[in-house]
Chain A
Amino acid sequence: MIAGLARADSGSVTVLGSDVALDYRRARRLLGVVPQELVFDPFFTVRETLRIQSGYFGIRGNDRWIDEVMHHLDLASKADVNMRALSGGMKRRVLVAQALVHKPPVIVLDEPTAGVDVELRQGLWQFVRRLNRDGHTIVLTTHYLEEAEQHCNRIALLKAGRVAALDTTKNLLKTISGLELVVRGRDGELSRIKLKDYAELEAALARLRDAGVEIHEIELQPPDLEEVFVRLTGNGRGPQS
């Protein structure tokens, strides 16, 4: 909807003040979108793809920036290779490069790490962090809550198409004050005990001792986003992103 691929039934969306329907040309120039699916045009090489993409945004002679983007995404050696011949990971990199040719201030990453190998994932996050430091706003949609927790400053949790929560990552984590004590006994049995705060730890351990549990392993887990999500959305089984 932000990018104009879907239309709003009601309400409006603006990108840095530009309405995506009324002033779509400006709104789309401000936006770089990395689509979720691995899409590509099999007729062209990587460089041709990026030149065409630049042209769509009215930019010609963009080779210096294209070279720089390809360098950062480790694509330089594939510049003249046909899109069809690239591996999945490489195609993903080209998608990222395509979203950046017009230097958009806002970049939307639609599940960029779905099915991506570890090496590319690391490289991708490094590059995205750099873009963020350089002043780009990054909008990330993901099913992996730990990814959101790790990389995002602000998080919106969606359930069934509605925003269930929108706050800074820190504040969201604070809404869950509970800790979880995970204990594995000698017999291998696992028990989980919810604690309100650290003050309850003593009493919990005492209860375990009274119950005669021989502790083999013990772990104290701070709240994570997954728990926040489950609490805020009721069952956590609804559509999420």
Chain B
Amino acid sequence: MTGFHTLLAKEVLRFWKVSVQTVAAPVLTALLYLVIFAQALEGRVQVYDGVRYVSFLVPGLVMMSVLQNAFANSSSSLTQSKITGNIVFILLAPISYLELFSAYVLASVARALVVAAGILATTVWFVEVPLRAPLWALAFGLLGAALAGALGLLAGVCSEKIDQLAAFQNFVILPLTMLSGVFYSIHSLPPAWQAVSHANPFFYMVDGFRYGFFGVSDFPPGASLAIVAASLLAISAVSLWLLKSGYKLRT
């Protein structure tokens, strides 16, 4: 067992110990969205041929929860550790910045997967959710979670207070995920808003993830995957560079 394994296990244990808040709550939130939107919009919103709106909604909500929870996990853990000061134990240990990055991001992915599994496990009983291309769904799920986890780490490093982190969460992550085509197919939008949606990296994750379920998407899934992978690499590179420099962690 190395420092990396311990840090990963500690991060997983941390969210698992408060799983009512970190797993059960987001599952419930997703279910509420599903019930309310399906009830209000079923039959009024045209999505893909032969796909009911409520079915269309499920993968979108799963992906939205994956992104939000992966982000929340790494960012809140790191910011809390910085505020309470216990980050010092990690900084004093023989753990490299690459190991620190990997442990936080993988723990985020773990929480995202648990939440995703929770949402799917509670919805498949009353909503028809096909899984036409599961490997695509898995690839988008993993890459999306890793990207949001890395982004959370970045925000955690930069935030000195909880309200700074909350601002990032509420004014960047929340709008970008809500407007990523979770609740509608972007083909139903006016052309200008379609163009704006294409500038939102989260759109490609939701769209690609949905392709894994229905085998149809607004954007070619291969191109989406390339965009998501490139975004992940870019954000990881910035995170790693910040961690290496010791920005706001080591003086």
Contacts and interface: CB of A to CB of B under 8 A. Distances in A.
A5 B5 contact: no
A55 B6 contact: yes
B17 interface: yes
Given A5-B91, A7-B246, A24-B94, A56 B6 contact: yes
B196 interface: no
B233 interface: no
A44 B15 CA distance: 12
B85 A39 contact: yes
Q: Output the residue of A37, A42, A44, A55 with the most chain B CB within 10 A.
A: A55
Interface in A22-40: 24-26, 28-29, 31, 33, 35, 37, 39-40
B90 interface: yes
A3 B18 CA distance: 32
A4 B85 contact: no
Nearest to B85: A39
Contacts of A3: 91-92
Interface string B60-92: 000000000000000000000100111011111
Interface in B86-141: 86, 88-96
Nearest to B15: A43
B201 interface: no
A56 B88 contact: no
Contact of B3 (A43, A57, A98): A57
Contact of B86 (A5, A41, A55): A41
Nearest to A26: B94
A211 interface: no
A39 to B, nearest CB: 4
A53 B89 contact: yes
A39 B3 contact: no
Interface residues of B, number: 28
A60 interface: yes
A130 to B, nearest CB: 23
Nearest to B18: A43
User: For chain A, what secondary structure do more than half of its interface residues adopt (helix, strand, loop), or is it mixed?
Assistant: loop
B235 interface: no
B2 A58 contact: yes
Contact of B93 (A42, A43, A56): A56
B192 interface: no
Given A5-B251, A98-B89, A56 B246 contact: no
B250 A4 contact: yes
B84 A58 contact: no
A229 B242 CA distance: 41
Nearest to A3: B92
A62 to B, nearest CB: 10
A5 B250 contact: yes
Given A6-B251, A42-B84, A33 B5 contact: no
Contacts of B81: 41
A31 B92 CA distance: 9
A32 B75 CA distance: 28
B4 to A, nearest CB: 9
A5 B1 CA distance: 24
Nearest to A43: B14
A52 interface: yes
B226 interface: no
Q: Output the residue of A24, A41, A53 with the most chain B CB within 10 A.
A: A41
Given A5-B91, A7-B246, A56 B86 contact: no
B238 interface: no
B161 interface: no
- Which 5 A/B pairs are nearest by Cβ-Cβ distance? A55-B6, A56-B93, A39-B85, A25-B94, A60-B1
24 contacts: A4-B92, A5-B88, A5-B91, A5-B92, A5-B250, A25-B94, A26-B94, A28-B92, A39-B84, A41-B84, A42-B84, A43-B13, A43-B18, A44-B13, A52-B10, A55-B3, A55-B5, A55-B9, A56-B6, A56-B90, A56-B95, A57-B94, A58-B2, A98-B89
